[in-house]
Amino acid sequence: MWARGVPYAEFGRLRAEAPVAWFPDEGTGFWSVHRYGDIVAASRDVATYSSARGISFEEPTDEDMAARRTIIDTDPPEHTKLRKIVSGHFSQRAVAVYEHFIAGLTEEVLDRCPDGGVFDFVDAVAKEVPIRVLARIMGLPEADLDLFIDLGDRLIANTDPDITDVVWGRDDTDAYRRYPFRSPYGKQLWDLGRQVVKGRLADPGDDLLSRLLRGEVDGDRLSETDLDNFFSILVVAGNETTRIAIAQGVLAFCERPEEWDRLRADPGLLDSATDEVLRWSCPTHFMRRTATTDTTLGRAQIRADDKVVLWYVSGNRDEEEFDHPDTFDVGRNPNRHLSFGRGGPHLCLGIHLARLEVKVMLAALARRYSRFELAGEPRRIRSNFTNGLKALPVRAYR
């Protein structure tokens, strides 16, 4: 079902008929939460809905979790401490200093695209910008960027045989259960991260990684495992997601040229268009929590240790929250979408950076192109977790 596309109609039916539903499959089964209000309520209540057993469908053991736990798999107070180390570097003010760099990079990437000719927007544009922004912020070596992109792809799209040869759900991945995304490529990302860290220890700078190396939790330096995992989540969470938003946004505009004309005619719509692209694209479909105690959500009787999956992609189309939720409207206001999470302490760390990247890209595209056309079938990543595109053939006209 997910290989064909996001099942919006099924989610609509579930919101109406079974807002919190039990699905017995996927290992021990899971509660599936479809309505906006229930998703926000569960995100907010971190004492009842824990992140400490991971945020995917997997069922890691305590030892697996200890090896691969990143900030996203922690609860307060540990979460609060980890978040404090990095939050200042990702505030709206802190990321604003990168605007000039992002704008220059975006123009450079677009300059390489043929006017009126066909190109793959994912490969030529969407893939190029987010990793280079991260490289700048974290001080990643230019020579490794293609490898970072490749490893990140193999992790995020660990269910797509076109992208990785070790497919979760198809292959035996037991040997890799302590690595990010239960993949051997998670280990490769750690190893690459360690090399970068080694270089930075020898030659510290003012980049984020150097500051992480100086970062302390309760007087202790971050452990090697913490560093490995911080490194991998920043690279994976900050790269693929933003790429997806940019590519899905352009697809939406290819299909709705009137919304493109509207945005071009009124640059005052750039902020609302950015958030509409984020709501519409919902790069991360869900996050999982685990109940710490018996509780109720809506009419569902949840038991301690049950898995609870919060479908942001469904909440983003909830008619109780959004007027005409299935309409792509660049002027939508208010737009309290769930694409970065909402209500809880795990709200995306990169929210301001991602918004800035998407906004700068939309502004550059709007200045440059009067029209986009699809020049072939867009190809989706086979995944229920990410809304990624493998290919988006387009023709763009000045």
Determine the interface stretch with ligand HEM among 3-11, 18-26, 279-287, 298-306 (rule: CB under 6 A).
279-287
Instruction: Please report how close the Cβ of residue 71 comes to ligand HEM at its closest, in angstroms.
Output: 4
Rule CB under 6 A: is residue 251 a binding residue for ligand HEM? Answer: no
Q: Burial, 319: exposed, middle or buried (Cβ in 10 Å; 0-12, 13-18, 19+)? A: middle
Q: How many CA atoms lie within 13 A of 385 on its CB side?
A: 18
Q: Return the residue nearest ligand HEM (CB atom).
A: 350
Residue 52: how many other CB atoms lie within 10 Å = 17
* Spatial distance between the Cα atoms of 45 and 54, rounded to a whole number of angstroms: 16
301 token code pair: 């009787």
Site map 126..145 versus ligand HEM, x via CB under 6 A:
--------x-----------
Please identify which residue in 347, 367, 376, 397 interacts with ligand HEM, judged by CB under 6 A: 347
Please identify which residue in 135, 196, 237, 269 interacts with ligand HEM, judged by CB under 6 A: 237
- Contact by Cβ (8 Å): 130, 242: yes
Please identify which residue in 39, 354, 365, 392 interacts with ligand HEM, judged by CB under 6 A: 354
Rule CB under 6 A: is residue 308 a binding residue for ligand HEM? Answer: no
Rule CB under 6 A: is residue 284 a binding residue for ligand HEM? Answer: yes
Residue 176: φ, ψ to 5°: -110, 15
Counting residues that bind ligand HEM (by CB under 6 A) gives: 27
For residue 325, whether the previous peptide bond is cis, meaning omega lies within 30 degrees of 0, is: no
Please identify which residue in 15, 33, 41, 43 interacts with ligand HEM, judged by CB under 6 A: 43
Q: How far is CA 233 from CA 38, 43, 186, 237, 240, in A?
A: 27, 20, 10, 5, 11
**End-to-end alpha-carbon separation of the chain, Å?**
37
DSSP string, 19-86: SEEEE--STT-EEEE-SHHHHHHHHH-TTTEESTT-SSS----HHHHHHH--GGG--TTHHHHHHHHH
Determine the interface stretch with ligand HEM among 30-38, 236-244, 247-255, 323-331 (rule: CB under 6 A).
236-244
Nearer to ligand HEM, 71 or 209 (CB): 71
Q: How far is CA 325 from CA 159, 315, 322, in A?
A: 29, 10, 5
Determine the interface stretch with ligand HEM among 155-163, 168-176, 229-237, 265-273 (rule: CB under 6 A).
229-237
Site map 70..99 versus ligand HEM, x via CB under 6 A:
-xx----------x----------------
Instruction: Please report how close the Cβ of residue 354 comes to ligand HEM at its closest, in angstroms.
Output: 3
Nearer to ligand HEM, 87 or 301 (CB): 87
Sign of CA dihedral 226, 228, 231, 233: negative
Question: What does the DSSP 8-state code read for residue 346?
Answer: T
- Contact by Cβ (8 Å): 57, 309: yes
Instruction: Please report how close the Cβ of residue 208 comes to ligand HEM at its closest, in angstroms.
Output: 9
Q: Which of 357, 338, 269 is nearest to 40 (CA)?
A: 338
Nearer to ligand HEM, 159 or 284 (CB): 284
Site map 4..33 versus ligand HEM, x via CB under 6 A:
------------------------------
Rule CB under 6 A: is residue 287 a binding residue for ligand HEM? Answer: yes
Rule CB under 6 A: is residue 383 a binding residue for ligand HEM? Answer: no
Give the binding site for ligand HEM (CB under 6 A): 43, 71-72, 83, 134, 233-234, 237-238, 241-242, 245, 278, 283-284, 287, 339-341, 344, 346-350, 353-354
